[in-house]
Structure 1
Amino acid sequence: MSTSGMSPSGVYTKKQLVAMEFDDRMIERMRASGDLTRLRPWWYATRLHDATVAAAVRDGGILTCVDALRFHGMWTPPGHRASLHLRRSKNKSGKHTACRVSVGAERTAADAVDPVPIALKYASGCLPVEEWIAVADSYINSTGTGAADLRVGMGTISVRLSHAVDRADAKSQSGTESIARVRLKSEGYDVVVQPSIEGVGHTDLRIGKLLIECDSFMYHASRDDYERDHHRDRRALVDGWLTIRLTYDDIVYGWDAVLADIREITGRDRHRARTPKLTTMIEESVLRTAREGL
Structure 2
Amino acid sequence: MDKTVELGVKSRTELIAGGLTDNDLRRMVRRGELAVERRGWYSTPGADSDALLAARGYGALSGPTALDKHGIWVPPGYEEVHIRAGKDAMRRGTACCRPPGPPLPVHSILDPVPLALCSAVGCMSPDDWIVVADSVLNSQGLDVELLLVMLPRANATIEMLLAECDPRSQSGTETMVRTRLRRRGHDVVVQPNLIGLGWFDLRVGRLLIECDSKLHHTSLENYRKDRRRDRKSLARGYSTMRLTYDDVLYGWDDTLADITRTLDDDRHRLPPPDDE
Shorter-chain TM-score above 0.5: yes
TM superposition outliers: structure 1 runs of 4+ over 3 Å: 93-96
Cα deviation, residue 232, structure 1: 1.4
How far apart, in 2, do the equivalents of 1:284 and 1:202 lie? 12
Question: Is 1:174 the counterpart of 2:171 in the alignment?
Answer: yes
Task: Give, in angstroms, the shift of residue 106 of structure 1.
Answer: 4.2
Q: Which SS does the other structure have where 1:284 is aligned?
A: coil
Candidates 161, 166, 183, aligned match of 1:164: 161
- Whole-Å separation in 1 of the counterparts to 2:107 and 2:12: 11
Distance of 1:57 and 1:224 partners within structure 2: 48
Unaligned runs of 5+ in 2: none
Cα pair 1:84 1:96 within 8 Å, conserved:
no
Stretch deviating more after TM superposition (207-216 or 32-41): 32-41
Give the aligned partner of residue 57 of structure 2.
Answer: 59
1:59 touches 1:95 (CA, 8 Å); kept in 2? no
Per-residue CA deviations over 1:220-246 (Å, capped at 9, x if unaligned) read: 242222222122112211221011100
Task: Give matches, 1:83-162, under 5 Å.
Answer: 83-92=80-89, 97-101=95-99, 103-162=100-159
Change (3 A) 1:159 1:206: same
Residue of structure 2 aligned with 1:42, choices 40, 43, 65:
40
Q: How many corresponding residue pairs?
A: 272
Match of 1:17 in 2: 15
Match of 2:222 among 221, 225, 235: 225
Is contact 2:5-2:70 (8 Å) kept?
no
1:117-151 deviation line (CA, Å, top 9, x unaligned)? 11011111111111111111111111112212221
What's the RMSD between the two structures over aligned residues?
1.8
Q: Which amino acid aligns with 2:52?
A: A
SS of the residue 2:123 aligns to: coil
Q: Report if aligned partners of 1:124, 1:161 keep a CA contact under 8 Å in 2.
A: yes
Q: In structure 1, what is the equivalent of residue 275 of structure 2? A: 284
Per the TM alignment, residue 267 of structure 1 is displaced from its structure 2 partner at its CA by 2.1
> What secondary structure sits across from 1:44 in the alignment?
strand
User: Alignment identity in percent?
Assistant: 40
For residue 77 of structure 2, the aligned residue among 76, 79, 90 is: 79
Say whether 1:244 aligns with 2:235.
no
1:33-75 deviations in whole A, cap 9, x for unaligned?
Answer: 2211111111111224322122211122110000100111111
1:218 Cα shift? 2.3
Name structure 1 gaps, 5 residues minimum.
1-5, 274-278, 286-294
Structure 2 distance, partners of 1:235, 1:105, is 56
Q: Secondary structure at the match of 2:137?
A: helix
Cα distance in 2 between the residues matched to 1:73 and 1:7: 10
Paired with 1:116 and 1:208, the residues of 2 have a C-alpha distance of 36
CA shift for structure 1 position 163: 0.7
CA distances 1:82-105 after superposition (whole Å, capped 9, x unpaired) = x2101113442679620134x334
Cα deviation per residue 1:232-269 (whole Å; 9 max; x = unaligned)? 11221122101110000000011111111111122232
